[in-house]
Structure 1
Amino acid sequence: MEKIVIENLYKIFGPNPEVALEMLKKGHSKDEIMEKTRHGVGVANASFKVNEGEILVVMGLSGSGKSTLVRCINRLINPTSGRVLVDGQDVTLLNKKELRHFRQKHFGMVFQNFALFPHRTVLRNVEYGLEIQGVAPEARREAAMQAIDQVGLKGREDSMPDQLSGGMQQRVGLARALALDADIMLMDEAFSALDPLIRRDMQDELLDLQEKMQKTIVFISHDLDEAIKLGDRIILMKDGVIVQQGTAEDILTNPADEYVASFVEDVDMTKVITAESVMKKSEIMAYLKTDGPRAALRKMQKAGISSIFVREKGKCVGIVTAKNCRKAVDRGEKTLHTILEKIIHKVAPDVPANTLFSMLGDETPHPVAVVDENDHLLGVIVVGLLLSRLAETMQPEINESASKNA
C-alpha cells in the first residue's frame, strides 16, 4: 500500500521561482539557471512512491537536493510546484492550521545534530512533541518512558543532554520521534554525526525497532553502505534530479548512467547480492510422511542431483543424500527417518552473499536452503551458482580492467 506519493515535485530557491522553473522545464541546467537568474534548483521534477512500512533511503552527494526533498514532504520547505500525497491527502494544499495538525498526526523527524533542548532532561526532551500537542502530563510521561525504553535509555530519563554521549543523544532524538507514534519518520542524515562504531549500532537499533513497529521511514544519507544496509529501496539524486531508484541490487548491478556507476564502483558486491538472487528455485522435494528412500532416490536421479531437501507439514526439516538412500534401500528401510540429516543451513531470502560462503565450505557439502519466515523452502544455493552470479555481476569491471591493460 502506498503511504507517500510524490508527483512532479520542484523546489526553486529565489524571489521569482516561476522564471527559473520555466527555464528548467525547457531543459536548462541547474548551473545555467543559477548563472542567468541567481535562483537555486533544489529539486527538479521528482516523482516516486513510498510504500507503507518500508525504509526508503534518499541519497546523494552534498548539494544533490536530498535534504530539500525530505523537507518538502512535511513542508518544512514549501515546494514550488508538484504534489505531495500522504494517505491520499495533498500536503501542499493544507493551510497553516491544517498543516500543523497534519504534521502532529503523521510525522516524526530525527535530525543530524540531535536538536535537543540543553536545559531539559531526557524525559522532558522526549515529551516535547506531546507537550506541544496538549497531551496530559501523565499520558505524555507514559508515552515518553515507553519510547525511552524502546531505544535502550531506561534509567537515563533524568539525565541532561550534555551528560550523554553522541550516540545516546541521537537515541533521545529517536525516542522523541517514536513517542509521537506518528505513521512516518523522516530522518535527515540522522547518524552522520556519530563515529563509525556508534553509527553501526544505531543502524542496527533502527532495523530492530523497524522490525517491531513497521513505520514508514524516509532516510536521508550520503553514505552508500548505510543506504544498502537500511534501505528496502534507494533513490539516488544529483543536482536536484532523481537519477535512479530501485533496490540496492538494482542500482549496483544495473546503474542507470556513468554517474551512478562511478558512485557505486567501490561497493563490495558480496554484501549486496542476496540469497534470493543466486538461488535456484527448488521444484523437487521429498516428503517425510509419504516418501521412502527408494522414492527419494528416484526423484534425485530424475533431477540429476545428489541430495534432496525433505518437507514435513509444509516445513523444510532436513536433507537426505543419494548415497544414504541407496544404503537404506539395501537395508530394506521404508522411511527416511533414519537417514534424515536435520542439521542444515537455512537462510532468509535477503541474506547477503558474503554470509553464504562460510556455509558452502568443504566441511558442509550440502546446498543451503533458502526459506521464508514459515520455513517453507523457496530455493537452494550451491557454491557454483553463487560464484557464477558474482562473476556475472563483476564482468563489466573485469572487461573494463582488461581493456585498460590491453
Structure 2
Amino acid sequence: MASLRHWFDWLPAPLASITLLIAAALIALLFSRIVTDAIPRLPGLRRITLIHSIIGRLRTNIRLLLMLIAASAALPAATGFTTPTLHMLGKIFAFLAILVFGFGVIKAFRFATDTYLDRITAKDPTDDIRTRSHQTQIRVLRRLIEITFGVITTAAALTVFNSVRQYGVSLFASAGAASLIVGLSARPALSNLIAGIQIAITQPIRMEDMLILNGDWAWVEEINATYVVLRTWDRRRYIVPISYFLENPFQNWTHSSPSLIASLFLWLDYQTPMDRLREIFHEELSHCPDWDGDKSSVDCQIADSNAQVISIRIIAGAADAGRMWNLTCDLRERLLARLRQEMPECLPRGRTAIVSNAPNEAPWPNELISPPVNRPDTGPYKGPDIKTPARA
C-alpha cells in the first residue's frame, strides 16, 4: 500500500489519500469479480447448481466486504489524513463491514432454508402433513432468527461508535419511566413473537391448512413472526395477529389429515323409495372424480322429517377441502337429474285440499290428494266405501 501511495505523490496529500482508498477498493472489486466469476467455472464445480446459486445470491455482499477490507488495509498508508480522520474512517469502515457481513449471513441463511423447503416440496408433491409441518416450523423460526440476528448485527455495528454506545447505555440506565412505557407499548409485539414460537412448536396451524374464520373458508398462505396471512376461496386475504390462534377457538379442517367427508341434504317427498335412491346414489358416486374411493365413509339416510318432506343426508369422503366441495356439488347435480328423469314423484310439492266435516263427502279436489287412504270400517266415522285421502 505504501508503494501504491507513491504513485499519487504528485497530488495534494488529502486527495492522494482519497485516491489511494478508491484505488484499493477498485482493485478489491476487480479481484472479487474475478473470484466470483471464476469459481463457478472451475471444472469440478460447473455442474453444481448450488455453488452457482450461492455465489449469485451473495455476490454483492462478497464484493462490498472485500472492498471495505481493502480500504481498511489501505488506511495506514493514507498519510494525507489527520489522526482523528483516520480513526473516524476506520470506525466507518468497521461499521459498514459488520452490517455487510451480518446481513450477508442472513441472506445465506434464507437461501439455505429456501433450498431445503424447495427440496422437501419437490420430493413429495402430495398434501403431506409432515411436509407442511416442516414448512411451518422453518418459516416461523427463520423469521425469528432473522429478526434476532438483524438486531444483534445492528447493535454490534453501533457499538463501534462510542457516542452511540454511551447514549444507548445511559438511555436504558436513566430513563426508567421511558423504558416502562416502551415495554408496555411493545407488549403486543412481544406477545406475538412468543406466540410465533409456540405456533412453530405446537403447530395448531400449518402452511396451507384449511381454516374457518368468520364463516369463510381460508387457507394459511403465510406465517410471519407477528401475523398470519389467510387466503379465502375468492382470493381475499385476512391479516390476523398470530396470537389470535392461541387465544381464540377456530376450526382447522386439515389439522390431522387433509381428507374430509362431504355432506349434503336432499328434501324429498314421503313417497321416495329409499332402496332405489341408495342404488342411484352408489351408481352416481362411482362416476364422481372427486370421491376418494373410501366406502366406509359412504352413507345415505333419512336424517329428519316434517309435515311436508323428509330430509335425506348423504355423505362421502374426499381427499381435501376443495375436492369435498366439488364432490358435494357434483353429487347434488347428478342425483337431482336422476330423480327428475326416473322418479319425479319424489320431488317435494305442496298439497292443498278442502276437507268436509261430513264423513260421506270426499275432499276436493280429489286428484290432488296423494296417496289415498281408506276410511276405517269401524268407529264413529264409518261410512260408505269411499276412499278419501288423508288430511293434507
- Which has a greater percent of strand? 1
Give the TM-score taking structure 2 as reference length.
0.20
Structure showing the higher helix proportion among its residues: 2
Larger radius of gyration: 2
TM-score normalized by structure 1? 0.20
